């Protein structure tokens, strides 16, 4: 627990104090956010606000991960296998960093061209597929080699699973490794685009991501405390996952980094996360769902992201089939802007929706544990 707390604290402080530096640097480099000409009129006042702020909390998360591992060196001997960096960390941080890199390229092109077009849809899609495929293969082909004092293997799990999962793996929903990688890619694409579409109002995506990441930190730490690889914990309701403490540490670090960034990103935002941050967070959240074996729980934990994504899908289908729009504008947050809601009201109310989704998901997770106990 101490390592997780250290990671959260370090990530928060690095993000809190480095974000003002990033604001000055990006302002000097004239890396201002281009604003869509067809967007809400009130957004024109945000033109020129520094973007690519996601660089800060991605970097803060990586630094905090290292700090958390330094705190792990005092763990008891039976837990020493958690001290060394793992494939789990490679997958989770890799998804965050390289998804963020795709977003950074998009942001860079927007700033350079001085318009909101950025990387074309095909290029962004190919980037997401490539990142998902590479880390999907790593997640499925590298099992853990944890052993006990006698040399007996205590954990041979991979980061991902060939079985679809809700709160645990669902045995009758097994697929091949290739099929699992395809699912991995789909989850990465869904999560990155979901967070990206949610970004658009000051602090909205950042605050929602804090809740989702905090939920995954709790889930992963609970799995660590009831881990099948722990020789002292053999109850039938333990969790068959790989490196849950590592997952909790990274989720906590990312949540702490986002809170530090939110200090400067809340209304009126002095910096935007940009696609760098949105895609980076989406990639990490996708990895959290895969590594904790809670893929089908993700749409509930990230309920706000799903609602906003569906508003775009509904708008496109309606317009192409009937020529009419269901919403004044999509994504959904802009519909309410045009309806006269203030930006702060929309953000706070959407945060409430995000919190409800997280609460329901955590309730389902814990109730399943209680059911298995009885």
pLDDT tens for 96-144 read 999 999 999 999 988 887 766 678 889 999 999 999 999 999 999 998 8
Q: Which residue, 290, 295, 273, 300, is CA-closest to 61?
A: 273
Tell me the whole-structure pTM to 2 decimals.
0.94
Chain Cα centroid distance, residue 148:
33
Query: Which residue shows structure tokens 């089908």?
Result: 296
Q: Tell me the C-alpha distance between 50 and 27, whole Å.
A: 6
Q: Tell me the C-alpha distance between 192 and 207, whole Å.
A: 16
Round the CA-based radius of gyration of the chain to a whole number and report it: 21
Asked if residue 202 belongs to a known ligand binding site, the reply is: no
Backbone CA torsion sign across 61, 209, 160, 136: negative
Distances (CA, A) of 250 to 71, 164, 225: 14, 23, 16
pLDDT at 235: 61
Domain ranges across the chain: 1-299
Q: Which residue, 281, 152, 275, 309, is CA-closest to 211?
A: 281
Express each pLDDT in 139-182 by its tens digit.
999 988 765 544 455 678 999 999 999 999 998 899 999 999 99
Q: Tell me the C-alpha distance between 182 and 143, whole Å.
A: 19
Q: 180-185: long-range contacts at Cβ-Cβ below 8 A with a sequence spacing of 24 or more?
A: 180/136, 180/140, 181/133, 181/136, 181/137, 181/140, 183/295, 184/132, 184/133, 184/135, 184/136, 184/139, 184/140, 184/160, 184/286, 184/290, 185/128, 185/129, 185/132, 185/133, 185/136
Contacts of 302 (CB under 8 A, 6+ apart): 191, 194, 208, 212, 285, 357
Q: Tell me the C-alpha distance between 342 and 329, whole Å.
A: 15
Q: Tell me the C-alpha distance between 310 and 314, whole Å.
A: 6
DSSP 37: T
DSSP 202: T
Express each pLDDT in 220-251 by its tens digit.
999 999 988 876 665 667 899 999 999 999 99
Express each pLDDT in 337-371 by its tens digit.
999 999 999 999 999 999 999 999 999 999 998 88
Q: Which residue, 315, 304, 313, is CA-closest to 347?
A: 304
Residue ranges of alpha helices (H) inside 43-120 are: 54-71, 87-113
pLDDT at 115: 66
Asked if residue 199 belongs to a known ligand binding site, the reply is: no
Residue 309 half-sphere exposure, CB side, CA atoms within 13 Å?
A: 16
Q: Which residue, 312, 354, 316, is CA-closest to 334?
A: 312
Contacts of 17 (CB under 8 A, 6+ apart): 260
């Amino acid at each position: 627990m101490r390592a997780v707390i250290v990671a959260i604290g370090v990530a928060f402080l690095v993000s809190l104090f480095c974000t003002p530096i990033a604001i000055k640097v990006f302002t000097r480099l004239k890396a201002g956010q281009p604003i869509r000409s067809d967007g809400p009129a009130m957004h024109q006042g945000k033109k020129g606000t520094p973007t690519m702020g996601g660089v800060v909390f991605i970097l803060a998360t990586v630094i905090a991960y290292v700090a958390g591992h330094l705190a792990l060196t005092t763990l008891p001997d039976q837990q020493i296998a958690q001290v060394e960096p793992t494939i789990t960390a490679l997958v989770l941080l890799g998804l965050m960093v390289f998804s963020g890199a795709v977003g950074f390229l998009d942001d860079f092109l927007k700033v350079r061209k001085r318009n909101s077009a950025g990387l074309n849809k095909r290029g962004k899609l190919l980037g997401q597929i490539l990142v998902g495929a590479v880390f999907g293969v790593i997640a499925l082909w590298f099992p853990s080699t944890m052993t006990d004092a006698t040399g007996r293997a205590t954990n041979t799990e991979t980061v991902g699973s060939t079985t679809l999962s809700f709160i645990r793996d669902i045995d009758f929903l097994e697929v091949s490794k290739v099929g699992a990688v395809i699912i991995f890619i789909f989850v990465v694409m869904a999560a990155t685009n979901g967070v990206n579409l949610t970004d658009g109002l000051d602090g909205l995506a950042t605050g929602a991501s804090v809740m989702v990441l905090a939920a995954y930190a709790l889930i992963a730490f609970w799995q660590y405390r009831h881990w099948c690889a722990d020789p002292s914990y053999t109850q039938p309701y333990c969790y068959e996952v790989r490196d849950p403490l590592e997952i909790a540490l990274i989720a906590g670090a990312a949540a702490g980094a986002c809170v530090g960034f939110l200090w400067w990103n809340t209304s009126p935002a002095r910096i935007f996360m940009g696609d760098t941050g949105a895609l980076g967070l989406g990639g990490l959240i996708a990895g959290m769902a895969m590594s904790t074996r809670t893929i089908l729980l993700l749409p509930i934990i990230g309920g706000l992201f799903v609602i906003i994504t569906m508003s775009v899908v509904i708008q496109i289908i309606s317009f192409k089939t009937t020529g009419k729009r269901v919403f004044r504008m999509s994504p959904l947050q802009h519909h309410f802007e045009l309806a006269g809601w203030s930006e702060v009201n929309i953000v706070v109310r959407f945060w409430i929706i995000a919190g409800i989704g997280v609460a329901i998901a955590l309730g389902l997770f814990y109730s399943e544990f209680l059911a298995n106990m009885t």
